């Protein structure tokens, strides 16, 4: 009897110690996991912190300068006084012209890729080219634009040369975004339309494009935000150091916000004196870019909410 | 009868129009490349490709001109490499947190922040480098001037971060759920799954992310132009007779050189043509890097259906 209970007892003990062992191992693993996940959370939050610090620097330095006059007046007295109206409007003109050139081409390319093309070698080559175009440095686009539009064709350094250059640069973004938008239109829409006797073009025109429109709009607006912030390509193709008036034609040079910021912070003869204006310009630029971006995200959000299928 | 015929012609015209649009990407890419070569050729013929690639003195507008781009190429690589040292761990860990660990709400906050960072104009980051980061670098390292390769690397790491995060995240998300479930079923903790299953399975996608980030860092202009001081010296220092990259010196990259000299160079001069040689070098460099990224992407897309 005593023997048996002793046996039982030792068995129990070994069971308990065994489970304690695994439990301890498990707890150890658990602590390790907690520590590692904590490190991951810390690293990820440092990315958020960085963005907040960047925005904070701009707001702190620039908010004192921002006023109605700053936004609506021309730069004056060697850009040491006055506002940045010509730079803001220059950027608006430039972005809209860029979109005017790139949108038809970009959407056209996306329609070809998604609605017509199959999966052959030609299409693979197109896709490879699009990805590579997206990786070409912006300054190389600038050099190309300078050589071909400004010098060879003879548009000179002008609004036209700069917007054509930026249009080439934004093509990959617009093509990719438009193709995504076309992909999101259900295949049944096309099949129903074809079954009713519509041609492929009629199907695209009346059954696909209308539903892809919000997606295409989102992509185009995002590409405007990108184009508005670009500096390197327009340095070479038409941005002007200082102009107290707006461009009167496509062949005029223009001021632009990003280039103006570059000038004020590095090229101006009195960079220390104009530093507050530079902060103000930076703040206006980032505000415009983020606002345009927010509009795009809002359109995407609304179209997803109103989706009928 | 006649109407169906015109309809058919109309349709094939429409098709032709869209095909041309589709082919545009190929045409533009080829045009850029051949245009750079064509415009660079007069300079190569006059000076010789050897001087461009293997000499380090770049002084195209001086009385005794030099056209060596070696210092510019090294500076470009050093600044981009430094950026990668910072942004690869930063980006990969953040992507892992977003895709595998974070609760839904925090995931949304992180994604929105990264999207915000992605639209930051590079000139704004350059400006912040100038006003905030460079003085900090100068103070920490006791330098008289904080516009150094290191300052450029720090800013570029921030610029490359969104690219690295979003593509790594795609790669992590495309790891099949069954892999993770199998590991969990065998008693692995979530951390072990992440470290031993998810990250290794996503490795080719992460490689693509790193390459694209590197390409971005090499091609970036405004940030380095404003942050690195643009001195033309060789960016190397001797430590016990062995040359090492010097991060605490002012450097000038390929991109900055085109930006500085491209706006006031007389069109058609040898100097003008030599800038296209610099552009072609930059194009080839980024093209190779993007191609590697492309191969890696195809592998991870092909591997996991």
Min Cα distance A309 → chain B (Å) is 25
ipTM of the complex model: 0.92
Measured between alpha carbons, how far is A254 from B46 in angstroms, rounded to an integer?
A: 36
Between chains, do B287 and A132 touch, taking CB under 8 Å as contact? yes
Task: Please report how many Cα atoms fall inside a 13 Å half-sphere around the Cα of residue A279, on the Cβ side.
Answer: 20
DSSP-assigned letters across all residues of A41-104: HHHHHHHHHHHHHHHHHHHHHHTTT--HHHHHSPEETTTTEE--HHHHHHHHHHHHHHHHHHHH
Q: Would you say residue A280 has pLDDT above 90?
A: yes
Q: What is the 3 state secondary structure string of chain B?
A: CHHHHHHHHHHHHHHHHHHHHHHHHHHHHHHHHHHHHHHHHHHHHHHCHHHHHHCCCECCCCCCCCECCHHHHHHHHHHHHHHHHHHHHHHHHHHHHHHHHCCHHHHHHHHHHHHHHHCCCHHHHHHHHHHHHHHHHHHHHCCCCCCCHHHHHHHHHHHHHHHHHHHHHHHHHCCCHHHHHHHHHCCCCHHHHHHHHHHHHCHHHHHHHHHHHHHHHHHCCHHHHHHCECCCCCCEEEECCEEEECCCCCECCHHHHHHHHHCCCCCCCHHHHHHHHHHHHHHHHHHHHHHHHHHHHHHHHHHCC
Q: Which residue has the tokens 């049944």?
A: A188
Structure-token pair, residue A37: 């996940």
Those of residues 184-223 in A touching chain B at CB distance below 8 A are: 199-201, 222
pLDDT at A117: 81
Task: Please report how many Cα atoms fall inside a 13 Å half-sphere around the Cα of residue B102, on the Cβ side.
Answer: 22
What's the pLDDT band for B44 if we cut at 50, 70, 90?
A: very high
Q: What is the pLDDT of residues A205-255, one digit of tens each?
A: 999 999 999 899 998 998 999 899 999 999 999 888 888 788 888 999 999
Structure-token pair, residue A141: 């686009």
Pairing of strands B236-239, B242-245: antiparallel
Strand extents, DSSP E, chain A = 75-76, 81-82
Comparing B173 with A1, the larger pLDDT belongs to B173
Q: Lowest-pLDDT range, A7-21, B83-97, B160-174?
A: A7-21
Q: What is the pLDDT of residues B109-135, one digit of tens each?
A: 999 999 899 999 999 999 999 999 999
Q: Lowest-pLDDT range, A14-18, B54-58, B62-66, B221-225?
A: A14-18
Residues of A in contact with B222 (CB under 8 A): 231-232, 258, 262
Give the number of other CB atoms < 10 A from CB of residue A20.
10
Q: What is the pLDDT of residues A123-142, one digit of tens each?
A: 989 999 999 999 999 999 99
pLDDT at A1: 46
pLDDT at A68: 87
Q: Would you say residue B213 has pLDDT above 90?
A: yes
Please compute the mean of the pLDDT values over residues A277-297 and round it to a whole number: 94
Comparing A9 with A115, the larger pLDDT belongs to A115
Residue % of chain A over a pLDDT of 70: 93
Q: Would you say residue A118 has pLDDT above 80?
A: no
Between chains, do A40 and B96 touch, taking CB under 8 Å as contact? yes
What per-residue string of b and e applies to A58-93 under the rule 16 or more CB within 10 Å gives b?
beebbeebbeeebeebbbeeebeebbbbbbbbbbbb
Q: Would you say residue B178 has pLDDT above 50?
A: yes
Structure-token pair, residue A226: 């990108």
3-class state of residue A9 by DSSP: helix
pLDDT at A9: 64
CB-based contacts of A173, cutoff 8 Å, min separation 6: A106, A134, A219, A222, A223, A226
Residues of B in contact with A230 (CB under 8 A): 121
Residues of A in contact with B25 (CB under 8 A): 109, 126, 129-130, 133, 171-172, 175
Residues of B in contact with A279 (CB under 8 A): 131
Contact A162, A233 (CB under 8 A): yes
pTM of the model: 0.90
Count of CB contacts below 8 A, A vs B? 255
Between chains, do B255 and A232 touch, taking CB under 8 Å as contact? yes
Q: What is the pLDDT of residues B227-238, one digit of tens each?
A: 999 988 888 888
Please compute the mean of the pLDDT values over residues A12-22 and round it to a whole number: 64
Give the number of other CB atoms < 10 A from CB of residue B264.
7
Between chains, do B263 and A236 touch, taking CB under 8 Å as contact? yes
Q: Would you say residue A4 has pLDDT above 60?
A: no
Phi (first) and psi of residue B134, to 5 degrees: -60, -45
Q: What is the pLDDT of residues B276-303, one digit of tens each?
A: 999 999 999 999 999 999 888 887 665 4
Q: What is the pLDDT of residues A24-66, one digit of tens each?
A: 777 887 888 899 999 999 999 999 999 999 999 999 999 999 8
CB of A46 within 8 Å of a chain B CB? The answer is: yes
**Residues forming a β-bridge with B243:** B238
E strand or H helix at A195, and its extent?
helix A187-195
pLDDT at B189: 87
Contact B134, B147 (CB under 8 A): yes
Q: Lowest-pLDDT range, A17-31, A154-168, A272-286?
A: A17-31
pLDDT at A264: 93
Q: Would you say residue B6 has pLDDT above 50?
A: yes
E strand or H helix at A6, and its extent?
helix A2-62
Between chains, do B191 and A261 touch, taking CB under 8 Å as contact? no
What's the pLDDT band for A164 if we cut at 50, 70, 90?
A: very high
Contact B68, B55 (CB under 8 A): yes
Residues of B in contact with A235 (CB under 8 A): 259, 262-263
């Amino acid at each position: 009897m005593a023997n048996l209970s002793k046996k039982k007892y030792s068995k129990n003990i070994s069971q308990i110690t065994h489970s304690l062992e695994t439990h301890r191992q498990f707890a150890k693993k658990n602590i390790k996991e907690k520590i590692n996940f904590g490190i991951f959370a810390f690293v990820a939050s440092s990315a958020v912190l960085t963005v907040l610090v960047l925005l904070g620097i701009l707001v702190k330095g620039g908010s004192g300068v921002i006023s109605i006059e700053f936004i609506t007046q021309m730069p004056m007295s060697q850009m040491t006084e006055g506002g940045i109206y010509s730079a803001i409007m220059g950027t608006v003109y430039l972005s809209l012209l860029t979109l005017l050139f790139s949108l038809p081409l970009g959407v056209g390319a996306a329609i070809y890729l998604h609605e017509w093309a199959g999966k052959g070698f030609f299409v693979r080559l197109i896709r490879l080219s699009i990805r590579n175009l997206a990786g070409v440095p912006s300054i190389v686009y600038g050099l190309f634009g300078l050589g071909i539009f400004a010098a060879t064709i003879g548009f000179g350094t002008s609004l036209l040369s700069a917007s054509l250059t930026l249009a080439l640069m934004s093509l990959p973004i617009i093509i990719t975004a438009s193709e995504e938008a076309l992909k999101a239109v259900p295949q049944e829409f096309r099949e129903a339309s074809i079954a009713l006797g519509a041609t492929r073009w009629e199907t695209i025109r009346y059954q696909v494009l209308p539903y892809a429109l919000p997606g295409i709009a989102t992509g185009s607006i995002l590409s405007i935000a990108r184009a508005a912030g670009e500096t390197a390509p327009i340095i070479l193709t038409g941005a002007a150091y200082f102009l107290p008036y707006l461009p009167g034609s496509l062949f005029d040079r223009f001021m632009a916000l990003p280039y103006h910021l570059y000038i004020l912070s590095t090229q101006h003869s009195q960079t220390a004196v104009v530093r507050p204006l530079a902060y103000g310009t930076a703040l206006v630029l980032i505000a415009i870019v983020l606002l345009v971006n927010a509009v795009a995200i809002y359109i995407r959000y609304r179209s997803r909410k109103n989706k009928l299928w | 009868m006649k109407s169906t015929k015109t309809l058919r012609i109309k349709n094939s015209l429409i098709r032709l129009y869209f095909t041309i649009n589709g082919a545009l990407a190929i045409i533009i890419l080829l045009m850029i490349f051949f245009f750079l070569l064509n415009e660079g050729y007069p300079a190569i013929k006059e000076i010789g490709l050897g001087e461009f690639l293997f000499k380090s003195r770049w002084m195209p507008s001086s009385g005794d001109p030099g056209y060596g781009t070696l210092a510019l190429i090294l500076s470009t690589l050093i600044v981009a490499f430094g950026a990668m040292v910072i942004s690869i761990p930063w980006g990969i860990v953040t992507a892992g947190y977003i895709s595998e660990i974070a609760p839904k709400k925090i995931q949304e906050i992180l994604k929105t922040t990264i999207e915000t960072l992605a639209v930051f104009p590079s000139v704004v980051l350059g400006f912040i480098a100038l006003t905030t980061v460079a003085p900090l670098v100068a103070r920490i390292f006791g330098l008289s001037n904080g516009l150094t390769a290191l300052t450029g690397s720090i800013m570029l790491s921030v610029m490359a971060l969104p690219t690295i995060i979003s593509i790594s995240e795609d790669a992590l998300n495309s790891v099949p759920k069954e892999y993770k479930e199998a590991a969990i079923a065998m008693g692995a903790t979530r951390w072990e799954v992440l470290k031993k299953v998810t990250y290794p399975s996503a490795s080719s996608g992460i490689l693509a992310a790193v390459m694209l980030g590197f390409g971005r860092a090499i091609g970036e202009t405004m940030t380095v132009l404003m942050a690195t001081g643009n001195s033309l010296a060789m960016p190397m220092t001797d430590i016990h007779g062995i040359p090492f990259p010097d991060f605490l010196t002012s450097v000038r990259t390929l991109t900055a050189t085109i930006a500085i000299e491209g706006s006031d160079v007389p069109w058609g001069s040898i100097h003008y043509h030599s800038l296209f040689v610099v552009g072609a070098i930059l194009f080839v460099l980024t093209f190779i890097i993007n191609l590697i990224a492309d191969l890696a992407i195809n592998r991870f897309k092909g591997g996991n259906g």
